[in-house]
Amino acid sequence: MGFKMGIVGLPNVGKSTLFNALTKTAAAQAANFPFCTIEPNVGEVNVPDARLDTLARIGGSATIIPTRMTFVDIAGLVKGASKGEGLGNQFLANIREVDAIAHVLRCFEDGDVTHVEGRVDPVADAEVIETELMLADLESIEKRRAGLVRKLKGGDKDAVLQERLLAAAQAALEDGQPARTVEVSAEDQKAWKGLQLLTTKPILYVCNVDEASAATGNAFSAEVEKMAAEQGAASVVISARIEEEISQLDAEEAGMFLDEMGLTEAGLDRLIRAGYDLLHLETYFTVGPKEARAWTIPAGTSAPKAAGVIHGDFEKGFIRAETIAYDDFVACNGEQGAKEAGKMRAEGKAYIVKDGDVLHFLFNT
């Protein structure tokens, strides 16, 4: 289990170029005209985690299996998408399927690449897409509330809950705020998520800068960073051109190229890490002679729920989890050393898994 991130943006902001580079494919046609991406291209990538390689080496694992992340390159959006302009309807349907939105913003000047609005203003671009998503949500909410009238008269409890949540979302949207700004109680979270409102999706702003600005950012990306901070959103600076070049190199060549560019890591690593932080995700590991494997879970996941990520039977029949912290596993040179040093713990159903835990589950069949 990784997570699914939709890559969105106005036409010609470098969205498809970034997708191609991140997934090391040419599946998305990167071209200098609007709507070159029509069907949402989907690509899976390994989530880079140096800890997994270390664990595999110590554990003598024959195979290394990283967790996976899915990128979905979604058709470019224009003003009026909420009313079906351009490829709006398709865009809105595709975006409902993802866990988070990576909103690519053009933060570079280039006379050879036309901008659909004829100017470079990433903050205004962000507002265009946010506005279209908000308008689409408003239209959806109005239709849903009208459809609940009969059930409300009959006192249907689910309808009453939906009406209350939809009304709260509508109030925020009419006030010019996305639905994600609504405070929702823990007991209402499941029903809230079930509404599938577009503006509840977490947003990561991806500042696509020129190559010279990849390490430090520029004035455009600084504006986006400020906007993101004000919204409580995340932002990351990436040069799609550089990522495209890196995707054609082997690991050693890529490392040398990054050094020359003054970068400590590839944009993919930063993007995935920012995505994990945005969705409050963590990683735990299983290590054995056959394989070392990474598993993605939401922060705060209990041991039985974490076991269920591997197989449903592990959760149903959960007995306990033999747990070693990553640092202890490394310091003690593996499971046996950790046992001898008293660093392996037996944790029960109430245990909350921590990022980096090395786990072995015991369960009834």
Residue 12 annotated as binding site: yes
Number of H helices, E strands in the chain: 15, 12
Rounded CA separation 283/335 (Å): 18
Full DSSP string of 231-281? HT-EEEEE-HHHHHHHTTS-HHHHHHHHHHTT-SS-HHHHHHHHHHHHTTE
Q: Is 14 marked as binding a ligand?
A: yes
DSSP letter, residue 213: G
Question: In whole angstroms, what is the distance from residue 347 CA to residue 319 CA?
Answer: 9
CA-wise closest residue to 166 among 133, 206, 194, 208: 194
Which H or E run includes 296? Answer: strand 291-298
- Reduced to 3 states (helix: H, G, I; strand: E, B; else coil), residue 346 is strand
Q: Which helix (H) or strand (E) holds 212?
A: none
Annotated binding site: 12-17
Residue ranges of the binding site for ATP:
12-17
